[in-house]
């Protein structure tokens, strides 16, 4: 088994190696009963687990104490989110390691900080607060997330030195057992993650020549000796607007592109036309002029990737991104180059029965759209 050279070697950004990783068709907890906390006091008095007469038999009250514990709505939501994360692992992981803590940032997803050596620490993950236990086991990091009483999703992070890879072993631990899966991550190249099929943006389009973002300076051409003005008379560079959400000022119309809602998504309660109409209406109601199926200017990109799991359940990853285009000179280029700029992004996972899954994804997408429109309006006040 791969081992890390030192805990600090876990630090860095890592990209999922899908070829080397395991992707079983089904991942989940095995069926089983849980021990009622009332029965944790032990066996029958005087006999423990012995058979026979005397005091060795288990009283009926203790037999009735071994139950399947009722699952609350919060437990179910937490369990679904944690198991969905195992079924659809993040394409990119960033780990920041300090002597006291480790911050794990999945992409997509929000960062979470665990404290090795501490037990039962609450951490907000997705829609729920999850109790975590983290510890160093030699040079490996173990993090356990309590999905519900008696069920834990356990991650073990280690680094293989040659070739350098992050090994992530995941086990769903419960009374009835659970599945195991191994994921392999390679060191991520510099820059934003690339090649993710589910969140890949549509092709970028060519901009009109000379378009520059606010504050960008075109490359200076070499003046001739006859026309070059004195250096002291050159106009000062435009100041960069560093106010919050300055890149959203002036937006009054948006393109809209919805992709990924294909056959599996339809089985999971999602229809492309209905989702596009709902998003378009939400933007229009917010006062924006909407241009459907166009990405030739600033546009909202909605991407949905659904898969069907066992027992007819669905797992769906969704991303909502506000993109724009710009041309700007880079430190290593002699002329401006076309860039696609990510202005805002939100994403998440949903799981459940088809009707429930479709409603949950649509609701979350529209919530993200509302968040984006609110930020745009606030920037234009």
Per-residue confidence (pLDDT) for residue 316, from 0 to 100: 86
Q: What is the pTM of this model?
A: 0.44
For the CA atoms of 146, 147, 152, 153, the dihedral, rounded to the nearest 10 degrees, stands at -110
Integer angstrom CA distances of residue 165 from 7, 90, 186:
14, 16, 5
Per-residue confidence (pLDDT) for residue 104, from 0 to 100: 92
Structure tokens at 122: 């609450």
One-letter-per-residue 3-state SS of 302-358: EEEEEEECHHHCEEEEEEEEEEEEEEECCCCCCCCEEEEEEEEEEEEEEEECHHHHH
Specify the higher pLDDT residue, 200 or 145: 145
Per-residue confidence (pLDDT) for residue 329, from 0 to 100: 79
Per-residue confidence (pLDDT) for residue 374, from 0 to 100: 92
| Cα separation, 182 vs 54, whole angstroms | 50
Structure tokens at 324: 């724009």
Residue 35 backbone dihedrals phi, psi, to 5 degrees: -80, 125
pLDDT over threshold 70, residue 332: yes
Using pLDDT thresholds of 50, 70 and 90, give the confidence band for residue 302.
Answer: very high
Per-residue confidence (pLDDT) for residue 173, from 0 to 100: 85
Percent of the chain with pLDDT over 70: 72
Instruction: Tell me which residue has tokens 């899966």.
Output: 181
Using pLDDT thresholds of 50, 70 and 90, give the confidence band for residue 38.
Answer: very low
Query: Among 150-164, 169-183, 356-370, which is the least confidently predicted range?
Result: 169-183
**pLDDT tens, 68-112?**
455 677 777 888 888 888 888 889 999 998 888 999 999 888 889
Q: How many CB atoms lie within 10 A of CB 204?
A: 13
Per-residue confidence (pLDDT) for residue 55, from 0 to 100: 41
**pLDDT tens, 131-173?**
999 999 888 899 999 888 888 999 999 999 888 999 999 998 8
Going along the chain from its start, the domains and CATH numbers come out as: 7-31+66-187 (2.40.128.20), 246-379 (3.40.50)
Structure tokens at 165: 């890879």
Q: What mean pLDDT value characterizes the chain? A: 76
One-character DSSP codes across 206-233:
PPPTT---TT--PPPP---TTTPPPGGG
| Cα separation, 277 vs 284, whole angstroms | 10
């Amino acid at each position: 088994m791969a081992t890390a050279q030192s805990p600090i070697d876990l630090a860095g950004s890592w990209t999922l190696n899908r070829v080397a990783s395991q992707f079983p068709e089904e991942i989940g907890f095995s069926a089983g009963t849980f021990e009622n906390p009332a029965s944790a006091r032990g066996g029958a008095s005087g006999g423990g687990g012995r058979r026979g007469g005397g005091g060795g038999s288990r009283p009926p009250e203790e037999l009735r104490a071994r139950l399947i514990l009722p699952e609350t709505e919060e437990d179910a939501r937490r369990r679904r989110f944690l198991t969905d994360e195992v079924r659809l692992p993040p394409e990119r992981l960033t780990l920041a390691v300090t002597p006291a803590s480790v911050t794990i940032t999945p992409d997509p997803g929000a960062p979470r900080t665990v404290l090795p050596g501490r037990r039962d620490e609450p951490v907000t993950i997705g829609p729920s607060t999850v109790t975590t236990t983290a510890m160093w086991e030699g040079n490996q990091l173990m993090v356990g997330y309590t999905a519900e009483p008696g069920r834990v999703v356990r991650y073990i992070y280690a680094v293989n030195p040659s070739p350098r890879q992050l090994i992530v072993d995941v086990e769903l631990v419960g009374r009835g057992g659970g599945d195991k899966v191994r994921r392999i991550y390679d060191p991520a190249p510099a820059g934003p993650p690339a090649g993710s099929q589910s969140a890949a943006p549509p092709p970028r389009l060519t901009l009109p020549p000379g378009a520059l973002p606010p504050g960008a300076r075109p490359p200076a051409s070499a003046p001739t000796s006859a026309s070059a003005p004195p250096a002291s008379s050159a106009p000062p560079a435009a100041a960069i607007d560093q106010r919050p959400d300055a890149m959203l000022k002036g937006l009054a119309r948006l393109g809209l592109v919805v992709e990924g809602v294909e056959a599996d998504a339809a089985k999971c309660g999602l229809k492309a036309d209905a989702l596009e109409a709902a998003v378009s209406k939400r933007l229009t109601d917010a006062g924006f002029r909407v241009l459907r199926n166009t990405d030739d200017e600033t546009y909202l990109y909605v991407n949905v990737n659904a898969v069907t799991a066992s027992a007819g359940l669905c797992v769906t990853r969704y991303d909502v991104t506000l993109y724009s285009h710009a041309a700007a000179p880079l430190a290593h280029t002699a002329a401006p180059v076309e860039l696609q700029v990510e202005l805002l992004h939100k994403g998440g996972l949903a799981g459940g029965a088809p009707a429930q899954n479709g409603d949950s994804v649509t609701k979350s997408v529209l919530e993200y759209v509302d968040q984006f429109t609110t930020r745009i309006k606030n920037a234009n006040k």
